[in-house]
Structure 1
């Protein structure tokens, strides 16, 4: 079920993200980035552009990058807006002249932070377990709905049919698909949906270990994207960002992305199996999980205990609808999973 709630939380608390939990020196299960560094071929491709940095990013390069992304998603280039990370797309939402926004939680909190800071009326719709959309009670006057798919931190994948029921004339639905490229099949993605009322935000930073470069894009109706970007400065996306966007969206990279998706799926299955072995100690992993992380219900104090053992997980009490009884654990290779599971066993 969904429970509406007005904006009664601290705005600043919405700005706690996983990189804050992952302090230097800790084994990182808090940040949802695959791999410790970009693949060698991608590093080499980016290094090959260093000599071009004396020139401003050109309109032609922006156009060619949008063309590559458009081909990937079977769209036209004018339905693509390049972003300095998907998070920039949230920062532009007030440009849509929204009067009443609904943010479906638990989810990534940056959209609500941006909307509330802009003085826009925000209603939280809190999903209860199993965190699927279920019964919908979006206020009729809402002209913006924001949700994640798959959702951070619950790892729930919503169906296209359920998201379709959120749509209505005069309303824009923004779907955060930052983790969709590691979902097998992408059957519920809106990335190829040519709809005037749906905006999709995508990121390549998670799959390709490029969080420090800030690379993303929006997909949507050309008029909506024009309005979304109307306050941006000139040259908002740099040459290296555009190079990365092209490199990671070309056919060869998509083949490697499929391999990464299969690897994440196998490692997630291992993580879930190991955590389920701790059920007698009060550990409960929420499934099914579709993203490169899982939501786990834990005994009080576990998050702090893991830090004493050099392990960072994402605390979840900063997500509306969750409490300190939950943590988000990123998918890692089995040998690293064994470390966090053994540390949990030690406390339990």
Structure 2
């Protein structure tokens, strides 16, 4: 049984009143005809504007994700989705968003750009959300409109426990965003399956990680059609290029090969973890459900500088989690180079 949420009451008044831009492709979306409506150059291979609502691509994604196309929004990366959520739901200088730290830095950047106060609750020693009075009281803040939960979390790599997400959904009447950029590397069902139960839930996924298309900048948001229509209302008219739509469609037809790559990444993840465990300078390797791992070392700054000098680039997360580095799982050859360089350093 889904709870009653008045989405309209959460939306900024100027967004409710907004008359969205109507492009030529909004007014006529057919595929055949003499097109003299959009001031396009009649010559060239890519002279026509793309489908502003990516209908063909959404239909294919919906089949894979077992959802309806009107429950799907495509953004110029997940970062555009994050920014649009702030634009739709937070009044500048007035409303708030909540994150659990350490986490993905773009939530804070988007909050600052949109002049929304960002509340931050620290994760516990296992990088999990503490279900306590502080959380419950924070969720009751009248100005709190958005809660961001990154699961698997970046930079820690772990899934956030389901009971914590359930608690937030059950005690908050704003928009709950579960960022699943790394969900394909985890052994857990996506929160997409819970959308009908929770009308205020929005799930973000991406083509950057599992699908290997970070350079295309295509992010997905799954939610109830009312929230999706609001995102469509405020997005730029042609936010996903024709080239990118076609490239994603082509890759979707090659899903079996992508899954083989996933299996290899997961095997390599265990190999890298095993190799790091044998190094004395590695003090702790945190559990991971992503295509990367967070490791505590003797001196993160020194190690990072050494690896950069050896042309092995990892991420120094010392400023976020003391003496920790984040290591993405690469190809077998890249991982071999990493391990040999770490052994040489030690």
Comparing 70-79 with 289-298, which one deviates more in the overlay? 70-79
Say if 2:131 and 2:164, in contact at 8 Å, map to a contact too. no
* Correspondence list, 1:5-20, <5 A: none
Superposition deviation, residue 169 in structure 1: 4.5
Q: Give the match for residue 123 of structure 1.
A: 119
**Hey, what does 2:100 align to over in structure 1?**
104
Q: Which residue of 2 aligns with 1:328?
A: 326
2:307 matched to 1:306?
yes
Displacement of 1:90 = 1.2
Aligned residue number for residue 284 of structure 2 = 284
- The answer to whether the aligner puts 1:73 opposite 2:65 as a matched pair is yes
Q: TM-score, normalised by structure 1?
A: 0.77
In the alignment, the residues of structure 2 paired with residue 244 and residue 89 of structure 1 have an alpha-carbon distance, to the nearest angstrom, of 20
Tell me if structure 2 keeps the 8 A contact 1:202–1:216.
yes
Question: Residue 244 and residue 175 in structure 1: after superposition, are their counterparts in 2 closer, same or farther (change >3 A)?
Answer: farther
Of 199, 215, 218, the match for 2:218: 215
Flag the 1:210–1:54 CA change in 2: closer, same or farther, 3 A. Answer: same
After superposition, residues 335-346 of structure 1 pair within 5 angstroms as 335-346=333-344
- Contact 1:86–1:202, Cα closer than 8 Å, also in 2: yes
Are 1:148 and 1:175, in contact at CA under 8 Å, matched by a contact in 2?
Answer: yes
The structure with the larger Rg is: 2
Could you say which residue in structure 2 is the equivalent of 1:34?
none
1:55 Cα deviation after fit: 1.1
Distance (Å, rounded) in 2 between the aligned partners of 1:93 and 1:170: 15
Greater helix fraction, Structure 1 or Structure 2? 2
In the alignment, what sits opposite 2:129? 133
Which consecutive unaligned segments of at least 5 residues does structure 2 have? 1-43
Q: Does 1:174 align with 2:166?
A: no
* Match in the other structure for 2:256: 255
Cα drift, residue 282 of structure 1: 4.0
1:339 Cα deviation from its structure 2 partner: 2.2
Structure 1 segment 135-150 matched on structure 2, within 5 A: 135-136=131-132, 137-138=134-135, 139=138, 140-141=140-141, 142-150=144-152
Structure 1 Cα separation of the partners of residues 294 and 172 of structure 2: 34
CA contact (8 A) 2:108 2:118 kept: yes
**Which of residues 83, 86, 109 in structure 2 aligns to 1:94?**
86
State which of 51, 58, 81 in structure 2 corresponds to 1:58: 51
Pairwise CA distance, 1:52: 4.7
Q: Distance in 2 between matches of 1:291 and 1:268?
A: 9
CA deviation string 1:108-134 (max 9, x = no partner):
100111012211111111113221224
Number of residues of Structure 1 aligned to a counterpart in Structure 2: 288
State the distance in 1 between where 2:258 and 2:224 align: 27
Q: TM-score normalized by structure 2? A: 0.77
CA drift at 1:54: 1.4
Matches of 2:150 and 2:109 in 1, distance apart?
15
Aligned: 1:295 with 2:287: no
For the residues of structure 1 that align with 2:200 and 2:294, how far apart are their CA atoms?
31
